[in-house]
Structure 1
Amino acid sequence: MRFSKLHASGNDFVVLDNRDGKVYSFVNDLRLDMKDFVVKVCAFHTGVGADGLILIESPDDPKNHFKWQFFNSDGSVAEMCGNGSRCAVRFAYERGIAGQEVRFETLAGIIKAEVLEKGRRVKVLLTKPKDYRDVTLDVKGTRLEGSFINTGVPHFVVRVEEIDSLDVVSLGRAVRFHPAFEPKGTNVNFLQVVGENKIKVRTYERGVEGETLACGTGATACAIVSYLKGWVKGSPVDVFTKGGDLLRIHFLPDLQEVYLEGPVVWVFDGELREELFL
């Protein structure tokens, strides 16, 4: 089973072309379900190692170039992933599935994207942010004030004064599973304002269940919350990720259009052998 591995700002994904349904046939022949398949492929040390797995499929609407199925590394399905979408777009571009202007189908809706620098950068038009509200939580006996917003998937955003020394995993996990966000939980982001229209972000990702080097929808959530709170002046907002890359968030003042732009790296192509799943 042929696959490709790409990463966007350190957020890495296994991508498979499933337009002919061959992935499902492969999984069925192994007598696995998709969750088991995804977990084994994404496992570090014993698998390829990735934050998620993406299937590129034929679109339901011929106006679109493709449909994706997105899985977190624990096998759960996510509605949207900003960095994953940029990897999917580069894959489709290089495989001749789409040109420089791309439309594809997700559980969060139709996503539009633009290929830049021959695929080495991708700019994605995300779904309109929704459900913004301030939330105060009791976490580990302390009062934690933040904001909730959905940028394709749910995010909780907290501003901190010193981000580098923060225990993101411990605090993030406590918020991710907080009763306020039941039943599905939320992604958790911490931001520090480091300059005019510049923020640094660290994210605990739901489904990965740990800190990742970057999260596209999380970076977007932090930029939008910072704008709504007056911590930044407006678009674009530069977001520095844990992995060191720069993501740029563009948006209209009314937030009707929000774009995520950043680098994409094609790491390698490979072949999955059946013995991985035995």
Structure 2
Amino acid sequence: MNLPFEKYQGAGNDFIMIDNRSGEWNKLSVSTVQKLCDRRFGIGADGLILINSIPGFDFEVDYYNSDGSKSFCGNGARCSVAFAHALGIAKDTVFFLAIDGAHNAFIKDNQVFLHMNDVADMDTSAKDFVLNTGSPHFIHFTENVADFDIVAYGKQIRYSERYKQEGINVNAIHQLDEQSFEIRTYERGVEDETLSCGTGITAAALALGEKNNIKGAFEYQVISRGGSLSVRFVRTDSGFNNIWLIGPAELVFKGTVDV
């Protein structure tokens, strides 16, 4: 059975996009998702996304990690907005549903602006911070991102007694100047480093905002291995709100695959 797909990437974070408004692909198995995402025996991707029809929204983002598990993915959501716009099912401003709730987004100057959910809680009890931006993230501050072994360190944290059951994404960040930082991320569900992680970049920006005691509205420029993004937020006494993840989302190629 031939499955039509499109491949998108957002700052090197790549996804298999499937138009599932008809519901034809509702029963894709975990093993099929794993095979399609395999970089040697399949299409190759960090994740797979079904765009579904759902009442009250422009569409639903049904996201699967490359191991078949589900989570929210910021870059995947941004690529979904670009894909939906190309399909003609969404205009420049959209309202969609994901696993972590409803999101607004819009496209401007070839950048996808994704509104993230508010973040009120952050564990800052240790030198490393932990928070949830739709997916759980561990933020490690370091002075050398380029040479940091994020895979070894990421596995150490992700499979520790505290996190091994539910898993956690692990980020190493280094502040470059007042308004920018660089980042590397180990993603659960992929179980490897990815070139970019939208929820991780957002979490890192909020963690740095907390660490630097930022007041009010602020924006960080972020350099990942796959490209540059930015995060806007407002920090108040009750946490972070009006959070926006901003960056590119581009079509790589289209095709069909036998499933």
TM interval, shorter chain, is over 0.9
User: Is 2:116–2:244's contact at 8 Å kept on the other side of the alignment?
Assistant: yes
Q: 1:175 aligns with which of 157, 161, 177?
A: 157
Asked whether the equivalents of residues 197 and 232 of structure 1 are also in contact (C-alpha less than 8 Å), the reply is no
1:124 is the counterpart of 2:109: no
In structure 1, the residue matched to 2:76 is 84
Gapped regions of structure 2 (runs ≥ 5): none
Judge conservation of contact 2:60–2:98 (CA < 8 Å) in 1.
yes
How far did 1:17 drift?
A: 0.6
Tell me what 1:197 maps to. 179
Structure 2 counterparts to residues 1-278 of structure 1, below 5 A: 1-24=3-26, 27=28, 34-59=29-54, 61-62=55-56, 64-78=57-71, 80-117=72-109, 120-136=110-126, 145-230=127-212, 235-243=218-226, 245-254=227-236, 255-274=240-259
Give 4+ residue runs of structure 1 displaced > 4 Å after superposition.
231-234
**Where does the alignment leave 5 or more consecutive residues of structure 1 unmatched?**
28-33, 137-144
Read off the aligned partner of 1:121 and give its amino acid letter.
Answer: Q
Pairs aligned (count): 253
Q: 3-state SS of the aligned residue for 1:115?
A: strand
The secondary structure found in structure 2 opposite 1:48 is coil
Shift of 1:131: 3.1
Once the two structures are superposed, residues 73-97 of structure 1 have per-residue CA deviations (whole angstroms, 9 ceiling, x without a partner) of: 011111x111000000000111011
Determine the C-alpha separation between the residues in 1 that align with 2:214 and 2:198. Answer: 18
Residue by residue over 1:144-164, the C-alpha shift from the partner in whole angstroms, topping out at 9 and shown as x without a partner, is x30001011100001001111
Q: Distance in 2 between the 1:182 and 1:171 partners?
A: 14
Considering only aligned residues, what root-mean-square deviation do their CA atoms show, in Å?
Answer: 1.5
Q: Deviations over 1:150-205 (max 9, x none)?
A: 01110000100111111110011110122222520110000001112100000000
Task: Give, in whole Å, the separation in 1 of the partners of 2:125 and 2:249.
Answer: 34
- The one-letter code sitting in structure 1 at the alignment partner of 2:84 is A
Structure 2 counterpart of 1:71, one-letter code: Y
The higher relative CO (CA closer than 8 Å, separation ≥ 6) is in 2
TM (norm. structure 1) is 0.87
Query: For the residues of structure 1 that align with 2:255 and 2:213, how far apart are their CA atoms?
Result: 44
2:144 partner SS: coil
Offset at 1:107?
1.3
State the TM-score, normalized to the length of structure 2. 0.94
Q: Identity of counterpart residues, as a percentage?
A: 37
**Structure with the bigger percentage of strand:** 2
Offset, 1:218? 0.3
Tell me if structure 2 keeps the 8 A contact 1:86–1:123: yes
